[in-house]
Amino acid sequence: MSATVSTKRTRQPARSGTAARHPNAGRAKQVTRLMPTPLLAVITTLLCIMVLVPIVYIFLASLNTDAGVARGEFWPSAFSGESYVKIWTSVGLGKAIINSILVSGSVAIVSAVIAVGTAYVLVRFTFFGRLTMLRGLLGLQSIPGTLMILPVFVLFSSVGTYLGISVIGTLWGLFIAYLTFALPFSTWVMVTYLRGLPRELEEAARIDGASNLGILFKIIVPLSWPAIVVSGIFAFLLGWNDVLFASVFTRPETHTAAIALQVFSAGQEGGAIPVYSQMMAAALVCAVPVVLLYLIFQRYLVGGLTAGGVK
């Protein structure tokens, strides 16, 4: 009997201690919010409205007539999909989209491939001028394109004059111009990502006899897909959205989608009213490749954008 009482007495403090620690453990698991839930819901709703209203207006305007859009009608008085038919013959939108996909896709692939190897050398090896190159990558990203367009144009014109190679007005000349600006950003994204990869994997591969190229292609590249996708997508957007360089370095046969939209904005139907409806339809069509790109690679984007933030 006494043994039973003593056992109960010894178990009693343990239960009370567990109960005392339980509230603190529950508080530690609670998620801390920066603002109350109702306020967060209101702000999120407003942001969604700010994004969705222009998109809805563009879609409705593409189904409206040019006169209806010019009058400021939000809801069309008569729905018509004629604009989606005319855009392919008005300024050659199909050819322009193909040119943009070729140039932007090539820039995305080439910049991502070069950036992986360049970042691997800058992160894993020590040599003279390494820090200067890293700082130069940041410096190149801060130079606006408006300051570079005239020097690049003169350089391309000089190459065409002295070597007899046509650069201005060609897609590969536009490709080189875009690659010049996309490569520093892609390299810096890969540098940030590779700094977070553990070196132990590479050391284990070296013990097994792997070379530097073997480590790069068999270890670094498979582990770096999120950063590769992010750098490629941003390089693709650089070429897809550009108007400044495309307006200078292209001719009608090599116009990109951005230039085609610019031609739509300057066009007029009947000599008086701009082709607002066709312009809205062309804008939606040109946005489709970018949206599909994000939908296909969205599972890589979050990991790539947050890579290197926590080590």
Mean pLDDT of 25-50: 75
The residue among 293, 302, 112 whose CA lies nearest residue 226 is 302
pLDDT in tens, 94-149: 899 999 999 999 999 999 999 999 999 988 888 888 888 888 887 877 788 788 88
Mean pLDDT of 18-23: 46
Contact between 256 and 100 (Cβ < 8 Å): yes
Contact between 275 and 267 (Cβ < 8 Å): yes
**Exposed (0-12), middle (13-18) or buried (19+): which is 311, by Cβ within 10 Å?**
exposed
* pLDDT in the model for residue 104: 93
The residue among 211, 38, 185, 209 whose CA lies nearest residue 108 is 185
Angle (CA) 162 163 168, round 5°: 90
Whether pLDDT at 236 is above 90: yes
The CATH homologous superfamily of the domain defined by 88-305: MetI-like (1.10.3720.10)
The owner of tokens 């570079």 is: 148
Regarding pTM above 0.85, the answer is no
Angle (CA) 283 287 292, round 5°: 160
Mean pLDDT of 163-187: 87
pLDDT in tens, 63-109: 988 888 888 888 888 888 888 888 888 778 889 999 999 999 999 99
DSSP character string of 108-165: HHHHHHHHHHHHHHHHH---TTHHHHHHHHHHHHTS-HHHHHHHHHHHHHHHHHHH--
pLDDT in tens, 277-309: 888 899 999 999 998 988 888 777 765 555 544
Whether pLDDT at 184 is above 80: yes
Q: CA-CA distance, 179 to 181, in Å (whole number)? A: 5
- Enter the tokens of residue 302: 């979050």
Q: Which residue has the higher pLDDT, 237 or 268?
A: 237
**pLDDT above 70 coverage of the chain, percent:** 84
Q: CA-CA distance, 183 to 234, in Å (whole number)? A: 10
Q: CA-CA distance, 57 to 47, in Å (whole number)? A: 16
Positions of E strands within the chain: 268-269, 273-274
No. of H helices and E strands in the chain? 16, 2
* pLDDT in the model for residue 271: 57
| 3-state SS, residue 269 | strand
Mean pLDDT of 184-196: 88
* pLDDT in the model for residue 269: 57
